[in-house]
Amino acid sequence: MNREEIEQALAALGEQLAALKKPHIDLLVCGGAALQALKLVTRTTTKDVDVVALVSNSPTDGLIMSSANPLPPHLIEAAKKVERDFRLKDGWINPGPTSALDFGLPEGVLGRAELRDYGSALTVRFISRYDQVHFKLYAAVDQGGKHYQDLLDLKPTGEELEKAARWSMTHDVSEPYRGEVKRILKEMGHGDVAQRL
Amino acid sequence: MLLKDFREALLDRLLMFLWRQWSALGILGASATEEEWIIDPEPLLVFSLELARYEPRLFDEILAWLVVNGELLDTARLRRILLKQDVSVVRVLGGALQWTADRKIIYERKWRKILDRCQVICEESPSDDVAEVLFKDRSGKFHPSAHGDSRDPSFALFHMNRPKINVQKEAREVPINACANLRFPVRALFGAGAKAEAILYLLTHEGGRPREIADSVGLFWLSVQQALFDLSRSGLVLTRTKGKKIEYWLSQKKWWEFLASTSPEDRALPKFLDWIAIFAAFSSLWKTADEIAAGTESDYMKNSKLQDSMEIVAREFSRSGYDPAYAPPSGLPPEMQRKMTLRYFDIIFDLRPELVSTLR
């Protein structure tokens, strides 16, 4: 899906949700779809829309995030229709990265996210460039490839990388992981940051 | 093709199909086409009354037919179908049945329970002070309302406004020798009800269990089970074990020879279609087409809703053995989707190109 197709699919999803007349859906989205939507990378396509959390507004606690797995049934129902209408692949919108919630997302992620309303029934919060650096560093260490390329495209500063590295090491506290983070940082020309970890 | 044009083209096709079904049942003399399926009068009646609001001539021909042939309708099936209808359809059906009851005393008793039910549904639904006008033109604009003594009192009871009905001549009885009308001689033999429906099902299937037969014919499964048990005591409806369950069956050759003087080897026998499901799908499609033509939603949503309805129609026809390949696939541009939808109906209804070209 390219940027235009993502927008088209999310707009259609918003309409389908509105037609169902069910509770409003608020999503925090990361991955390629967020990169595309915010025009942060050079690559032009992504396979899916990765939902990292469901967002709701609590009268006492303000905005809170909860696991997106499973996605709400009416979101699945609406997404199936969009999948059929635009011939998208099964699971074009999915809660793949929602396990990242288990160890916590970077502090202030919701405040930095770019919010877009798709009609009255759907809000999508695309995580910011700063938070993308966190996710992409973690993914680049884990899988390399396109994630490493995305990380380079984000052109992170040393300070951003250090914060991202420290956050990612709370998700994987092993020594081999720490070593791999340092190696990647050095490859990116940030040996000083690697040394401080 | 504009949605408005699509809506009218679809309406034309559905009405042409309905005219053909009713012609096969004796309206306007003999039908020119021998249908390849067994006609199911109860769902046909309900859907026809809904759609014939755009075709007053057909509407009144159906009323005249009902007076002559209504005795062979199955009230239990009609009641079950009625429960799934919108209140607007209930009002129209209530008016139509009341009109026949006001003309022939036997219908007063036959329709009593259904008419009572219609009254309850109508009273429970909010309605305007002014009765709704029954007939509309093809574009959906209401006909002028009837006033004073010119209003029909039977329909007025159900808050519908229409002029008094002037039946020119009595309708004909259903031509019972046509294979498509097999339901009627079977009902004449066994009475309208579970026995007749079970026999029809077994005449067109290799066998069946009570619950699957009940689902297909739209009757309560215990009634069908009792009917099959009673029929099996004649020795002409048989049982066999299939897995852990008992299946009923009959000798199609003997029964067809007896009922229609034909044999499964001599000619293609009519198909048994789940018309209750199919007409419900037509109704859903028509409501969608009508709604989206006037609606303010995006083109995408209109297209998507149309696709939803077409999927139901195609699924019901494919369950009855029709090739789903003709159905419009998903993801088509709106213009193409509308054309493919109309083409699908031309194929399913076997509408000849020269007929279609005269539709508009």
Tell me how crowded residue B333 is: count the other CB atoms within 10 A of its CB. 10
Cβ contact A85–B308 (<8 Å): no
CATH code at position B224: 1.10.10.10
Tell me how crowded residue B234 is: count the other CB atoms within 10 A of its CB. 9
**Whether residue B137 is found in the same domain as residue B37:** yes
Please give chain B's pLDDT, 360 residues, in tens: 788 999 999 999 999 999 999 999 999 755 556 788 899 999 999 999 999 999 999 999 999 999 999 999 999 999 999 988 999 999 999 999 999 999 999 999 999 999 999 999 998 887 777 899 999 999 999 999 999 899 999 999 999 999 999 877 788 899 888 889 999 999 999 999 999 999 999 999 999 999 999 998 999 999 999 999 999 999 999 999 988 889 999 999 899 888 877 666 666 778 888 899 899 989 999 998 998 888 888 889 988 988 998 888 888 888 877 777 778 888 888 889 899 999 988 888 876 655 555 544
Q: How far apart are CA B8 and CA A195, in angstroms?
A: 74
Domain that holds residue B281: 275-357
Q: How many CB pairs under 8 A join A and B?
A: 26
**Whether residue B15 is found in the same domain as residue B157:** yes
Query: Does residue B252 lie within any of the structural domains?
Result: yes
Query: Does residue B102 lie within any of the structural domains?
Result: yes
Cβ contact B301–A87 (<8 Å): no
Task: State the nearest Cα–Cα gap between A84 and chain B, in angstroms.
Answer: 6
**Whether residue B39 is found in the same domain as residue B137:** yes
Cβ contact B304–A12 (<8 Å): yes
**Whether residue B147 is found in the same domain as residue B8:** yes
**Whether residue B101 is found in the same domain as residue B29:** yes
| Domain boundary residue, one of B107, B126, B161 | B161
Residues 108-137 of B with CB under 8 A from A: none
Chain-centre distance for alpha carbon B274: 10
Residue A49 main-chain phi, psi, to 5 deg? -110, 115
**Nearest Cα to Cα of residue B328 among B176, B317, B211, B319:** B317
Query: What is the number of structural domains in chain B?
Result: 3
ipTM for the predicted complex: 0.82
Query: Does residue B9 lie within any of the structural domains?
Result: yes
Query: Does residue B306 lie within any of the structural domains?
Result: yes
- Closest in B298, B305, B330 to A84, CB measured: B330
Cβ contact A81–B304 (<8 Å): yes
Of chain A, the end-to-end C-alpha distance in Å amounts to: 37
- Flag whether residue B337 sits within 8 Å of chain A, measured between CB atoms: no
**Whether residue B37 is found in the same domain as residue B145:** yes
Query: Does residue B268 lie within any of the structural domains?
Result: no
Query: Does residue B116 lie within any of the structural domains?
Result: yes
* Domain residue spans of chain A: 3-127, 130-196
Q: How far apart are CA B208 and CA B253, in angstroms?
A: 17
- Flag whether residue B291 sits within 8 Å of chain A, measured between CB atoms: no
Query: Does residue B298 lie within any of the structural domains?
Result: yes
**Whether residue B115 is found in the same domain as residue B250:** no
3-state SS, residue B207:
coil
**Whether residue B199 is found in the same domain as residue B155:** no
**Whether residue B47 is found in the same domain as residue B157:** yes
| Domain boundary residue, one of B234, B260, B286 | B260
Query: Does residue B171 lie within any of the structural domains?
Result: no
Torsion angle of the four alpha carbons B187, B189, B195, B196, in this order, in degrees rounded to the nearest 10: -30
Task: State the nearest Cα–Cα gap between B223 and chain A, in angstroms.
Answer: 36
**Whether residue B34 is found in the same domain as residue B144:** yes
Q: How far apart are CA B72 and CA A171, in angstroms?
A: 74
Cβ contact B301–A19 (<8 Å): yes
Element (H, E) at A51: strand A49-58
